[in-house]
Structure 1
Amino acid sequence: MDLIDDPQPGENAHEYTVSEISSAVKRVLEGEFGRVRVRGEVGRVFVARSGHLYFDIKDDRNVLASVAWKGQVASLATKPEEGMEVVATGRLTTFGSQSKYQLNVDDLRPAGVGALMAMLEQRKKALAAEGLFDESRKRPLPFLPDVIGVVTSPSGAVIRDILHRLRDRFPRKVLVWPVAVQGRDCAPQVARAIAGFNALTPGGPLPRPDLIIVARGGGSIEDLWGFNEEAVTRAAAASDIPLISAVGHETDTTLIDYASDKRAPTPTAAAELAVPVRLELQAWLDGQGARLSRGLSRTITDRRQRVADLARALPRPETLLSAARQRLDLAEHRLDAGLRGTVALRRARLSELSGGLRPATLRQGLADKRRRADQTAARLGPLLRRAAAQRRERLDQLTRQLARLAPTRDAARQRRHLDDLQTRMARATQRRLDTERRRLGTLDRLHASLGYQATLERGYAVVRGDGAVVTTAKSAKKARAIEIEFRDGRMTPGAAPDPKPARKKTPPPEQGTLL
C-alpha cells in the first residue's frame, strides 16, 4: 500500500499520525536493507552507564550512527576505537524519538591486517607514554625458583613442552592456571590469571609462584590479538612476580612482550630461561669446591712459611734483655762498694777535723760524728736500695713492654689459626671419606643383591658345560662335561659319589700280665 493516497477530486488528502509515519519508515528501511555490512572509520565512541555502546561510522562525506546493546557488546570481537577502520555487520533500524536511522551492530572487525597494525601501533605508543614499557620497571628473574606459575591452555602442546624442558634441566614445582589463548575470552582470563597468582599468600596452602610464564603457540595476528589487549598489558606490568612472556614464535611480537620482565622467543625457551641446567650447576659447584680446597691449602702453606720467616728474623728475648740485666747486676754490685767508700771518706774527714780538739771534746765530737755518719748511712742505705729497686722495677717494666712489642704473641696466634685450619681440613676430609665409604657400602650391597649368588639362594642353579655357562638344551647335549653349581657347592651329574672312608678297626686291648 502506498504511504500517501492520491486525493480524490473534491476530497482532502489522508492525514497520518507521527507514529504511523515513523512505523512506515521503519518497515520500509528494515525491509529494504535488512542485514548489511558497512565499512568505514570509527568516529565518536560513547559507553552509556547502562552498558550500551554508541559510536559513529563515517567516510569522507557522511556519518552513520551505530549502536551495540549491552548483550551484544560482550560478543564483539573488537572494541571500537576512534580512528579505527572497521567492517560492521548488523541491521539498519530507525529511532523514531529523534527521527534518525542507525545501524544495530552485532559484529565488528578491523578492516584488514593494516588496520590492526595501525591500531596496535597506536595502543603501543599510548602505553609506552605511560611508562609501562620502561626498563627501570623490569625485575630480574630468580636464579632458581621453587614454584613456577604457567598461564596457558591445559590441553595444548605448549604446557607439555614446558614441563618436559623443566624436567630435563632442573625439575621444579609447576602451578598451571588454565585460560583461553584466543578469542574474546582470552584477554580477561589471562589478566585474571596474572592477578590471581599475585594475590596468593606466600607460605599459604597454595604456594605463591616465584616466577610466572605466560605462554601460547604461534598463530596469526588475529589469533594472538588477545595478548595485545590493554587489560593483559597492564596486568603484566603491574605483576609483583617476575614474568616471562612466551607468546607465538620468534617472529611474533605482542604488547605483553614489552610489559613483561623477560621475553622468550618460544615456550620452550621460556622454560630454559626459568631454570639453569642442574648438571652444569653441579659441575660448577664441584669446580668451586676444588678451587676452595686448593686456595685453602695454598693459604695455609703460605701462612706457615710466613710464620717461619718471621720467627727466624726475630731475636731471642734473652738476647735483648741480657745486656740490661748485666748492667743492673753491675750497678747493684757497685752500690755496696760506693756506700762503704762514702762512709770511709766521711770518717777520714771527721778525723781531720777533730785533730785539734780536746780528748774529751774530741771523743764526744767523734762520737757525735760517728752517730751522724751512722744515721746518714742508715738514711742513705734505704734510699740507695729504694733507687735500686726502682731501677729494677723500671727494667722489668721495659722487659714487659719489649715482650708485648715482640711479635711472638702474633706468631702464636698465627700458629693457633694454622692449627685450627688444619683441624677443619682434617674434619672435612674425614666427612668426605665417611660419605664415600657409605656410598661404597651401598654399591657393594647393590652388587650383592644383583649378583647370581643371591639367585642361587632362592633355589636356582647355574649349569656349565666345558667350563662355560649353558643356557639351552642343545648346548648341554654338545658339552663333554656338565657341572651344576648350587648354593652350597658344585657337582658333576653321573660322577660316582665320593667313597666313604673305611673305618679303622680298633685293635683289641693288650692282655695284661701277672708278672
Structure 2
Amino acid sequence: MELFDDTPAPPGNSPEYTVSELSGAVKRVIEGEFGLVRVRGEVGRVSRPASGHLYFDLKDDRSVIAAISWKGQVAKMQVRPEEGMEVIATGRMTTFPGQSKYQLIVEDVAPAGAGALMAMLEKRRAALQAEGLFDAARKQALPYLPRVIGVVTSPSGAVIRDILHRLRDRFPCQVLIWPVAVQGKDCAPQVAAAIRGFNAIEPGGPVPRPDVLIVARGGGSLEDLWGFNEEIVVRAAAESRIPLISAVGHETDTTLIDHASDRRAPTPTAAAEMAVPVRLELLAAVDGLGARLSRALAQGVALRGQRLRDLARALPRLESLLATPAQRLDTATGRLSGGLSLAVSRKRGSYERQAGRLSPSSLAGLVLRRREALARRGEALEARIARKRDLWHGSFDKWASRLAPSLARLVMQAGVKIAEQRHGLKGLSARLDKAPAQRLSDLSRRLEALDRTRQTLGYAQTLRRGYAVVRGDGAVVTSKAAAEKASALEVEFHDGRLALGGQPGRATPRKGGATKPPAQGSLF
C-alpha cells in the first residue's frame, strides 16, 4: 500500500517578497541602469487627454516601448511627435507598478533626420492646403501707398536694420515693430500672437493700425526656420485681415507661412521694396503728369478758342437780329399811353357808381342785420351748451354710482393682500430666527471634522502605529551620522519619551570581550 503525506514541505532559503516589494526592486534596478537614454524609433499611437500629458508609442520592426511626456515637458518641446514620424527621444526609463510594465519618460523629441522633417512638413502642408488656407482667392492686394507698416521680427538682428534702411531710401513712413523670437520653442507662439495683436488694433485708436504687415527673418537651416512651419503661425497668417508679406529666409528657403501670406518676398529687403514705391520716382511721375496736364489745358483752350471763332463767323450780325424786336417795342410803347388813359377812365366810372350806392342808412341796416344774426347764433349756442351740460351730468351720475362698489372692492383686495404679505413676513421672521442657530451648528460640525482631520494627520497618530521620533541634543535626528555626533539621545513613543545615554549604531559588548554585530536589515 502506498501512503501520501499532505504535510507541507519545509520552506527553503529563498526569501519571500510582497508584490509591492518586488515591483519596487524592479523599479530601482531599471531606473538605476537606464538613468538617461536616447531611443530612436517610429512614433505609433499618439494620445493627449485633457490633462495636457502626451502618451505615445515608440516602435521598430520588432518591439514597442510606451512613452510619456508630462505637461510641462510637452510645452518645452520644439517638435511635437506625430504618428508615423521617426524621432530620437531623450528621457529616462521607469516602471508603472499598477500595470506591471516599463515605460520611457520623454523629456525631449528631435526628428531622426532631415528626411523625417521634410516628410512631416509635406504632410502638414497637404493637410493645410486641403483646408483651403493656401487658396489664391483668400489673398489680399497690397496697398499702393501704406501710411503705417507693421514688422514682426527680432529687434536685435540685421533684418530690421535692412528693412528700415530700405524703407527710408524708398519712401519714409511710420514703422511699428513687434519684437519676437525668430528661432526656438518660443518662435511660433510669439509670431502668431504678434500677427493677431496687429489685427486687434482698432482704427483711430492711440496706436495706429498698420496698413501692411511684414514677417521677416534671415536665412538658416530647416530646423532654424521650423517655427514658421508651425500650424499656429500658418493659421494666424491666413486669418490676418491686414495684407501680409512673408520674408522668411533666403530666396531658396520656403516655409508654410509663405503659402498662407498674401505675398512672398525672397529677402527682407525685397519685402520692404514690395511694401512701398520709390518716392523720387513718384515725384518724377507727378511732375511729368503736371507738365502733361499743363500742355493739355493750353491745347484745350486753344482748340476751343478756334472753335468759338469759327462759330462766331457763322452767326448773323447783331443789328439784323435786334431790328425786328426793336420795331415791335416801339409799336407797343406808342400804344401804351392811350391804353393807360382808357383804363383809368373806366375804373373811375365804376368807382363813382359804387360810391353812389353807399349811404348812412344802408350802413345802419347792414349793422342791424349782422347784430340780429349774431343774437340768433348766441341763443342757439346757449341751447347747445345747456344740452351738453345735461348730458355730462347724467354721465357723471352713472360713473359716480359705479365708483363706490369699485372702491369697496379695491379696499377689500388690498386688505387680503396685506394679510398675505403679513403671513409671509411672519414665515420669513421665523426662518431668520432659526438661521443663526442652524449656521452655528453647521460651523461647529465642520470645526469638529477639521479637528478630527488634524488629529489624524498629526504625527501623534503615526506614533500610535509603532513609529518613534529620535531627538539628539534637543533636535530631531534623521540620519546615522547625526545620531553618532549627538551626546545624548531621546526616543519619543506614543505614550512618553525615553532618554538614552549611549551612542546608537555601535556594537554591544558580549561576555568574554566579543562583540555582537548589529542586525542586518532587509534588502528592500
TM range (shorter): 0.5 to 0.7
- Judging changes above 3 Å, is the alpha-carbon distance between structure 1 residues 299 and 103 closer, same or farther for their aligned structure 2 residues? same
The C-alpha deviation readout for 1:73-106, integer Å capped at 9, x for no partner, is: 1111211111111111111111111111111000
1:153 maps to a residue whose letter is: S
Q: Residue 321 of structure 1: CA displacement?
A: 10
CA separation in 2, counterparts of 1:223 and 1:324? Answer: 96
Off by >6 Å, runs of 4+ in structure 1: 317-326
Cα distance in 1 for partners of 2:266, 2:57 equals 40
Query: In the alignment, which residue of structure 2 is the partner of 1:182?
Result: 183
Q: Which amino acid in 1 is paired with 2:162?
A: D
Aligned mates of 1:270, 1:228 — CA distance in 2: 19
Post-superposition shift, 1:288?
A: 0.5
> Counterparts of 1:155-170 in structure 2 under 5 Å?
155-170=156-171
Name the structure 2 match of 1:86: 87
Q: 1:325 to 1:280 in 2, by over 3 A?
A: closer
SS of 1:29's equivalent in the other structure is helix
Distance 1:285 1:324 in 2: 55
The code of the aligned residue for 2:68 comes to V
Letter in 2 for 1:201: E
Query: Tell me, what secondary structure is at the counterpart of 2:298?
Result: helix
> 1:117, 1:313 → 2: CA distance?
84
2: CA distance, partners of 1:297 / 1:181: 58
1:189-210 deviation per Cα after TM superposition (whole angstroms, max 9, x unaligned): 0110111111112121111111
CA offsets 1:338-383 (integer angstroms, 9 cap, x no match): xxxxxxxxxxxxxxxxxxxxxxxxxxxxxxxxxxxxxxxxxxxxxx
Amino acid at match of 2:45: R
Tell me how far apart the structure 1 counterparts of residues 212 and 66 of structure 2 sit (CA, whole Å).
47
**Residues 164 and 18 (structure 1 numbering): CA distance in 2 closer, same or farther, change over 3 Å?**
same
The letter for the 1-side match of 2:278 is: V
Query: SS at the partner of 1:104?
Result: strand
The aligned amino acid for 1:223 is D
The 3-state SS of whatever aligns with 2:242 is coil
In structure 2, what residue type is equivalent to 1:275? V
Following TM superposition, by how much is the alpha carbon of 1:235 offset from its aligned partner in structure 2, in angstroms? 0.6
Q: Indicate the residue corresponding to 1:138 in structure 2.
A: 139
- State the partner residue of 2:195: 194
Matched, 1:41 2:27: no
1:285 corresponds to which letter in structure 2? V
Aligned to 1:299: 300
Q: Offset of 1:28 from its aligned partner? A: 2.3
User: How many angstroms does 1:323 deviate by?
Assistant: 11
Distance 2:33 2:157 in 1: 47
User: How has the CA–CA distance of structure 1 residues 167 and 325 changed in structure 2, closer, same or farther, with 3 Å as cutoff?
Assistant: closer
User: What's the CA shift for 1:320?
Assistant: 8.5
Amino acid at match of 2:84: G
Q: CA–CA distance in 2 between the matches of 1:33 and 1:181?
A: 36
So what's the TM-score if we normalise by structure 1?
0.59
- 2:337: which partner in 1? none
| Cα distance in 1 between the residues matched to 2:56 and 2:147 | 49
CA distance in 2, matches of 1:296, 1:132: 51
Match of 1:11 in 2: 11
- Alignment length (residue pairs): 320
Q: Percent identity?
A: 74
1:55 and 2:56 are equivalent in the alignment = yes
Paired residue secondary structure (2:283): helix
For residue 39 of structure 1, give the secondary structure of its aligned residue in structure 2. Answer: strand
In structure 1, the partner of 2:266 is: 265
- Shift in alpha-carbon separation, 1:311–1:189, aligned structure 2, 3 A: same
Q: Distance in 2 between matches of 1:131 and 1:50?
A: 31
Give, as a single letter, the amino acid of the residue that structure 2 aligns with 1:11.
P
CA distance in 1, matches of 2:232, 2:68: 24
User: CA 1:324 to 1:148, structure 2 compared with 1: closer, same or farther past 3 Å?
Assistant: closer
Structure 2 residue runs without a partner (length 5+)? 1-8, 329-524
Q: CA deviation at 1:39?
A: 1.1
Distance 1:130 1:30 in 2: 45
Q: How far 1:58 moved relative to its partner?
A: 1.5
Q: Which letter maps to 1:238?
A: E
Shift of 1:57: 1.3
1:210-264 deviation digits (Å, cap 9, x = unpaired): 1111111111110000011001111111111111111111111111111111111
Pairing 1:319-330 to 2, within 5 Å after superposition: none
Residue segments in structure 1 that go unaligned for 5+ positions in a row: 1-8, 329-515
Q: 1:245 to 1:324 in 2, by over 3 A?
A: closer
